[in-house]
Amino acid sequence: MSIAWTAAEALAATGGQLSGPDNWRAAGVSIDSRSVKPGELFVALEGPSFDGHDYIAAALARGAVAALVHRRPSTLAADAPLLLVEDTLAGLTRLGLAGRARSRARFVGVTGSVGKTGSKEALRLALSTQAETYANEGSLNNHWGVPLSLARLPREVPLGVFELGMNHPGELGPLSRMVRPDVALITTIEEAHVEFFDSIEAIADAKAEIFEGMAPSGIAVLNQDNAQYERLAGHARRHGIARILGFGEQSGADIRLLDCKLEAKSSEVSVEILGRRLDYRLGAPGRHWVQNSLGVLGAVAALELDIGLAAGALAALSPPKGRGQRRQISLPGGTLELIDESYNASPAAMRAAFAVLARAEPGPKARRIAVLGDMRELGDQGPALHADLAPAIVAAGIDLVLTCGPLMQFLQAALPASRRGAHAPDSQTLIPAILGELRPGDVLLVKGSLGTKMAPIIEALLRQDEQAKQAAGSRPRAANGR
């Protein structure tokens, strides 16, 4: 068993107090009693609607070797293996800082308004061709996800990729100071979380907090096609970062897009990287994935690793769950293609998803259908930003749009009548209308903000798939005529 933490190491990192057995050795760190694995250290975090202390016994029963706690539940056995601290989130943060301090890995920090998780996963794939690479899981990119990921960091791994997120000013800087990236990749600056910012320039300023944890020897990789490029570069220089690599279509970009051929399920890309011509296939479709791949290769170049080997790996790239993942859904009489973009949404991400749907190929007499939920955290601009999606939907040749949420009513009103489908106040209520619309050969996009809860729609479609498969399997075979 690979050891993440001994009891003595965890004690020294957190400054806590051991209770019960004090010679345990943890293979990992978990904050969820439902998924904790045998041999892991369970951290009992406390939030506004949950308290991990209520699940310590369950975690230990599932095989956790100990629990990091800030109080002892009265029902817990007296000899339970505990590491007592004043506050479990602070204790987890100290554990993460100690994990970072003992690591000799080189780190890439990834942030941006959109494309963070996709770029992080593409970097994990590209770098893994050359050395063992660790990256935070899913979207563990906030004030508890980053320290948890650092606490899970393998001791000897040579490369690390960390996605860093925020939706308010002042949140990204502390995360960067935890990770201390050698390379910072900022994907792009767009209208996301605008409810909490006065301007898009303020969003850029907040994203530039990623430079706060970097040494002057660090390298910034920035989107030169984005209007905030010079502002971000200025922030980097003020933090003492002298080397900046720009990516995009601009003639002076260090990682310059020469050409790309966008296909329904992939893209062919030609770039020039620091004077070297490179052609590669990108397994994820869409112009936004091409742009993301430029930043990824810029980060590889900043690490002075093999760019050709990294680019070759991108042929195997597929969008993460909820961010463009494709599935075939069985229906009576055939199948449809589902593009699952259910995890999150912003105006820029919506338009990128429409462009992908535009290149999809429905069957005969079938349609391109978009099922859209509200984009959150847009403040007073919300109604206008939803209505403004209508021209992009028409340009993409999307035949039918079904929507849910109060803000999506503004999009419905802006759409041509021929493209308006059902509208419902929430995703759950919209499901019957969606299922009633489906035909074999359709291509269906589902996208909305996390808070709009589009996942139940995906779950309903997966149930439809299972039911159709079961029905097909239970039908009697036709006689063969003999």
* Distance of alpha carbon 29 from alpha carbon 459, whole angstroms: 29
Distance in angstroms (rounded) separating the CA atoms of residues 215 and 237: 11
For residue 98, tell me if it sits in a domain.
Answer: no
Question: Within this chain, do residues 185 and 141 fall inside the same structural domain, yes or no?
Answer: yes
Pick from 2-6, 88-92, 330-334: least confident: 2-6
How many domains are contained in the chain?
3
Amino acid at 157: V
User: What would the pLDDT profile of 174-192 be if each residue is shown by its tens digit?
Assistant: 999 999 999 999 999 998 7
Domain with 193 in it: what CATH number? 3.40.1190.10
pLDDT at 482: 32
Spatial distance between the Cα atoms of 307 and 255, rounded to a whole number of angstroms:
11
pLDDT confidence of 474, banded at 50, 70, 90? Answer: low
Check: CB of residue 282 under 8 Å from CB of residue 315. Answer: yes
What pLDDT is stored for residue 476 in this prediction? 53
Do 404 and 430 reside in the same domain of the chain? yes
| Mean pLDDT calculated for residue range 12-16 | 97
CB 54 within 8 A of CB 33: no
- Looking at the structure, do residues 291 and 331 belong to the same domain, yes or no? no
Residue 134 pLDDT exceeds 80: yes
Owning domain of residue 461: 325-472
Distance, in Å, from the CA atom of 269 to the CA atom of 248, rounded to the nearest integer, reads 12
Alpha-carbon span 115 to 128, nearest angstrom: 20
* Residue 479 falls inside a structural domain: no
When pLDDT is averaged across residues 454-479 and rounded to a whole number, the result is 83
CA 222 to mean position of chain CA atoms = 19
Identity at 139, one-letter amino acid code: S
**Does residue 379 sit in the same domain as residue 459?**
yes
According to the model, what pLDDT value does residue 1 have?
A: 55
CATH number at residue 32: 3.40.1390.10
Looking at the fold, whether 312 and 329 belong to one and the same domain comes out as: no
CA angle at residue 331 from 325 to 334, to 5 degrees? 95
Query: Over the chain, what is the mean pLDDT?
Result: 95
Output the domain CATH number for residue 373: 3.90.190.20
If asked whether residues 429 and 349 sit together in one domain, one would say: yes
3-state percent breakdown (helix, strand, coil) of the chain, nearest 5: 40, 25, 40
75 with 219, same domain: the answer is no
pLDDT tens figures, 414-442: 999 999 999 999 999 999 999 999 999 99
Listed residue (125, 204, 209) closest to 161, CA to CA: 125
Tell me whether residue 209 is in a domain.
Answer: yes
What does pTM read for this prediction?
0.89
Q: How confident is the model at residue 480 (pLDDT cuts 50, 70, 90)?
A: very low
Do 396 and 269 belong to one domain?
no
Residue 111 is assigned to a structural domain of this protein: yes
Residues 380, 408 within the same domain: yes
Tell whether 96 is covered by a domain. Answer: no
Residues 344, 256 share a domain: no
* Residue 113 belongs to some domain of the structure: yes
